[in-house]
Structure 1
């Protein structure tokens, strides 16, 4: 038969439980004291950081940027060889699109000759300026290098980079700081796009293209548009089948061209732009066939820029032109009757830059 515990045994048990609870309480207190939360690393105890939470956003931003975290160095990518600008034909009316501005460094010793140290230094300087978004300064440094003696590879490289960089300073709506060639203009009452373009010595189509104006009559007084201080000029090199387009004295782009075949060589000398037409009717002087713009084998492509000879072998010559083609595979060859052929997309862009009576075209060997 079970016995009830005596009062003495119950007292001993109660005291034992009290001792155990007291010991547990002491241990917990020690743990809390040792491992209590402290201030964040690098902050002194008692620093009232929470007061910053009540600061205005602008003040917090200033505080955070006062001692910015050092940026991690990024690997720099430099092309070993210059990459020529792609001359991809575009549909008529669509401007050529150039790659983003990237100016890699020129090799110290280019293939085929010794690099001019001064030119190489200017190219590196232009790369640094472009990487710092100082595009106009980079353009002017590269353009200045063209006046120096350099290897063929250096000259090709500089032309290529100037062609690429023009997409940012010229063929965009942006007006970059300190650019003497492109400015912002506020349209005045009574202004027309044609009159604005005439004062700037450029075709109105260029201002339409750059500013995204669909029709000239949509221009409104009070609007601010980008204007180009022309005129543009052209220099064509028969030995390399290339065309350099300049805005005043600054190289804008280089294009590949087709030239006259033996017996119908493209005459050297100075020409001036006589007229500009979109797909005019044309009579083949050899066969007498009359081509209409709608003919599937129409040979003149997207644009016609008529020329008038002024000096050299070009003096007194007429009937020559810069125009598009229906045979893009013949660009870079001597197959025309003396005219200068372009890819159709390039012909549209050049057409939009050259002004009748003002733009000069120099053909040289």
Structure 2
């Protein structure tokens, strides 16, 4: 009898163990898909950290201004139907991605990476016009565009065999000056330094150094800002580079929708309080716009608007609480400043910029 009871107990334990084990393949499939989007190593973790920080930063806002968390929109967002042309483009890009993986080639550093990034960026832009597509946007960015953008725009990966010609591998000549090289290609010297893994403010180059460049004098930079989602997407040469969290104007001083461009790029700017007209130097008590100022052309509808960081009370992002400007976290505003290019308006009113810096703001 005792032996029979032992056998029954062992049978029950074994049955539950088998049930637990049979659930494992599904988890392995998820891990395998995550591995696809994680190359190069650490890029997926960077995206997750950015998302967790975004969610945590907004958790204390309360009220109707709080934004739905990224993870919630991913898990609850239904798949959307793309227009036939974009659906065909997405399927073709996914097929190329899968083919590279099957051939043990890394899609984010392969010679086809730039073409893939450009196609997926076109799909993302198409999603902007589709209601309820935020979850699909987040999936596309996390699984495809973020790892591609990290390798293309934030690493020294050279792309020597780039099939599109977008990447320029420049060999430094005697007498070259980094900022002058940047001017020729529509880039800032800080962005060139980011690409080569150097201190952004470093000006040292030597003959024979290889620089990773993009010819951006015509294609330039695009910022797409969604007020309802508190998001700004940065495109470089038409290719997605980064998604930032932002804050916008409160109801009485709303951030206007429309198109504009960056007309000034300043580091350590002064700030004039729009209520008191008092001027605050950078670093002085009461200065709240952070380390950089990226001014909008006033033709958008109001003077004195732009993109900046934030050192005042409350959250910088995820709420409608500014005087109409677009707020960013300070370190991210500084990153954007370094990527964008110098520009100026001459005394006779001519605007001069190394490359276009277009801004689109939608409700």
TM range (shorter): 0.5 to 0.7
Q: How does 1:47-126 map to 2 (within 5 A)?
A: 76=29, 77=31, 78=33, 86=50, 111-114=77-80, 121=91, 124-125=94-95
Q: How does 1:90-169 map to 2 (within 5 A)?
A: 111-114=77-80, 121=91, 124-125=94-95, 127-128=97-98, 131=101, 132-135=105-108, 136=113, 137-146=115-124, 148=126, 151-160=133-142, 161-169=144-152
> 1:265–1:133: structure 2 CA closer, same or farther, 3 Å change rule?
same
> 1:122–1:261: structure 2 CA closer, same or farther, 3 Å change rule?
farther
- Offset, 1:338: 0.7
- For 1:223 and 1:242, the matched residues in 2 are separated by 37
Q: 1:349 aligns with which of 331, 335, 338?
A: 335
> 1:331–1:138: structure 2 CA closer, same or farther, 3 Å change rule?
same
- Offset, 1:334: 0.6
Q: Judge conservation of contact 1:184–1:227 (CA < 8 Å) in 2.
A: yes
- Offset, 1:113: 5.0
Q: How does 1:350-365 map to 2 (within 5 A)?
A: 350-355=336-341, 356=343, 357=353, 358-365=356-363
Matched, 1:254 2:254: no
Structure 1: segments with no counterpart, 5+ residues: 1-74, 90-106
Q: Which residue of 2 aligns with 1:211?
A: 196
Q: Which residue of 2 aligns with 1:325?
A: 310
Q: 1:288 aligns with which of 274, 277, 284?
A: 277
- Offset, 1:122: 5.2
Q: Which residue of 1 aligns with 2:254?
A: 265
> 1:243–1:292: structure 2 CA closer, same or farther, 3 Å change rule?
same
Q: Judge conservation of contact 2:90–2:123 (CA < 8 Å) in 1.
A: no
Q: Judge conservation of contact 2:154–2:195 (CA < 8 Å) in 1.
A: yes
The DSSP-based 3-state class of the residue aligned with 2:225 is strand
Structure number with greater Rg is: 1
Q: Which residue of 1 aligns with 2:263?
A: 274
> 1:270–1:130: structure 2 CA closer, same or farther, 3 Å change rule?
farther
TM-score, structure 2 length as denominator? 0.65
Q: Judge conservation of contact 1:126–1:142 (CA < 8 Å) in 2.
A: no
Q: Judge conservation of contact 1:270–1:309 (CA < 8 Å) in 2.
A: no
- For 2:207 and 2:80, the matched residues in 1 are separated by 56
- Offset, 1:290: 2.6
Structure 2: segments with no counterpart, 5+ residues: 1-27, 35-43, 55-73, 344-352
- For 1:281 and 1:304, the matched residues in 2 are separated by 9
Q: CA offsets per residue over residues 170-223 of structure 1, 9 Å max, x none?
A: 111111231533321011233211111111112221112222444554222332
The DSSP-based 3-state class of the residue aligned with 2:191 is helix
Q: Judge conservation of contact 1:122–1:141 (CA < 8 Å) in 2.
A: no
The DSSP-based 3-state class of the residue aligned with 1:183 is strand
The DSSP-based 3-state class of the residue aligned with 1:168 is helix
The DSSP-based 3-state class of the residue aligned with 1:146 is helix
The DSSP-based 3-state class of the residue aligned with 2:282 is coil
- For 2:81 and 2:49, the matched residues in 1 are separated by 22
- For 1:323 and 1:114, the matched residues in 2 are separated by 34
- For 1:297 and 1:110, the matched residues in 2 are separated by 42
Q: Judge conservation of contact 1:272–1:309 (CA < 8 Å) in 2.
A: no
Q: Which residue of 1 aligns with 2:296?
A: 307
- For 1:297 and 1:130, the matched residues in 2 are separated by 54
- For 2:157 and 2:297, the matched residues in 1 are separated by 35
Q: Judge conservation of contact 1:159–1:253 (CA < 8 Å) in 2.
A: no
The DSSP-based 3-state class of the residue aligned with 1:166 is helix
